[in-house]
Amino acid sequence: MTRPHTHPFIPFTPPRLPIEEGLDRGRAFHRLLDARRSVRWFSPDPVPAEAIELAVLAANTAPSGAHQQPWRFVATRNPDLKRRIRTAAEEEERRFYHERELPEWHAALAHLETDANKEFLEIAPWLVVSFAQKQQDGRKTYYTNESVGIACGLFIAALHSMGLATLTHTPNPMTFLTDLLGREGERPYILFPVGYPADDCEVPDLRRKPLEEALTFAGGLA
Ligand code: IYR
């Protein structure tokens, strides 16, 4: 079919998988992702820069509003920069845990046993910060948060597929990252420590909610 386009279009005709093969792949993909956990105890073992590049290449495939791709990932393994980020993050977290009156929030988090100590920000070999670009060249971007969120999800999945662990860490507020990483005009979105889990890593004993609570088939399956 030839359609009267006003902009360049190209054919997109990926081979269609047999249904069973598609379902097998879906099951395997779910098994892979279901083995992922957010990690707070990291091994200091090095991780090659190429792993970070591959994870950002995966993130960079995310769909985005008007295809504006409003993300920027900043990665560092510089010990001095990591220390400065940890110090600033812990300052914010001390306020969160000890000074601000947020009893409901604290209660909701209690089972994670988190506190203001963010040692993992220095131990993990990499820190990667995703930034959201609310504007590009003075023009507003659309669906910025949704787009960056999807990119971050793909980033997390790609790291996991390489046997690496991360944490979606969001000190609040985290504007200090804009200054420390020199990203004027961009909003820090998530701070990801990246590395292998420590040999003695533990995670909270959490359950994922059952499919019936995550999915509704509206109108039946007739
Ligand atoms: N930012 C704090 C608190 C915290 C908030 C949420 I929502 C979590 O899921 C976990 C922690 C911290 O990182 O300790």
Among 106, 119, 170, 172, residue to substitute to test ligand 1 (most atoms within 8 Å of Cβ): 170
Please tell me if the CB atom of residue 92 comes closer than 6 angstroms to any atom of ligand 1. no
* C-alpha distance from residue 54 to each of 31, 141, 170, 193 (Å): 21, 25, 23, 16
Among 91, 98, 112, residue to substitute to test ligand 1 (most atoms within 8 Å of Cβ): 112
Please tell me if the CB atom of residue 168 comes closer than 6 angstroms to any atom of ligand 1. no
Specify the residue for token string 């860490």.
169
The pLDDT value recorded for residue 100 is 87
Cβ atoms of 102 and 23 within 8 Å: the answer is: no
pTM, 2 dp: 0.97
The pLDDT value recorded for residue 2 is 82
pLDDT, block means (10 residues), the chain with 222 residues: 93 97 98 98 98 99 98 98 98 92 92 97 98 97 98 99 98 93 97 98 98 97 90
Please tell me if the CB atom of residue 41 comes closer than 6 angstroms to any atom of ligand 1. no
Among 90, 93, 114, residue to substitute to test ligand 1 (most atoms within 8 Å of Cβ): 114
DSSP string, 2-45: ----SS------PPPPPHHHHHHHHHHHHHHHHT----S-B---
The pLDDT value recorded for residue 87 is 98
Cβ atoms of 124 and 42 within 8 Å: the answer is: yes
- Helix, strand, or coil (residue 174): coil
The residue whose C-alpha atom lies closest to atom 8 belonging to ligand 1 is: 109
- Cβ-Cβ contacts under 8 Å for 197 (sequence gap 6 or more): 39, 41, 42, 43, 165
ipTM of model over 0.90: yes
* C-alpha distance from residue 40 to each of 45, 97, 204 (Å): 15, 17, 10
- Cβ-Cβ contacts under 8 Å for 17 (sequence gap 6 or more): 25
Write out the two tokens for 91.
Answer: 């300052």
The residue whose C-alpha atom lies closest to atom 7 belonging to ligand 1 is: 109
* C-alpha distance from residue 134 to each of 144, 175, 176, 184, 186 (Å): 6, 14, 17, 11, 7
The pLDDT value recorded for residue 38 is 98
CA dihedral for 159, 89, 96, 118, sign (positive or negative): positive
Please tell me if the CB atom of residue 171 comes closer than 6 angstroms to any atom of ligand 1. yes
Cβ atoms of 112 and 39 within 8 Å: the answer is: no
Residues paired with residue 218 on neighbouring β-strands, in sequence order: none
